[in-house]
Amino acid sequence: MGLFGKIFGKEEKKESCCCEMEIVELPEGDIAAPCDCGDACDAPGAESITLTVLGPGCKRCHQLHENAQAAASKADGSVGVEYVTDPAAIAEAGVMSTPALLS
């Protein structure tokens, strides 16, 4: 039973999404099951993720960059963070307002 089910005492319906994946709610404190890639994500040649912070360099942009770096440091080292302040690159990415975070 989810948070609102606990509060309001209603039993929630278990529905699957459009791609027929089962959504499972884990009890607090349980660790999520490992992915089903066959440990390919831990392989030395596995691709890393790069988060890109786009912004002109304002206070909010710097805060987003710091938050992204903090989140990346909690990952297993496969997440990198870059900070782009070039207006042409921001426009090319199609960003309409900043700061923006792209993966």
What pTM does this model have?
0.55
User: Across-strand partners of 100?
Assistant: 54
Which pLDDT tens digit goes with each residue over 12-33?
555 545 666 666 676 766 565 5
Above 80 in pLDDT, residue 56?
A: yes
Q: Which of 33, 20, 25, 31 minimizes the C-alpha distance to 6?
A: 25
Average pLDDT over residues 66-80: 86
Residue 83, CB-side half-sphere exposure with 13 Å CA sphere: 15
User: Across-strand partners of 53?
Assistant: 83, 101
- Contact present, 90 and 83 (Cβ < 8 Å): no
75 pLDDT band (50/70/90 cuts)?
confident
Which pLDDT tens digit goes with each residue over 35-54?
666 655 655 555 678 999 99
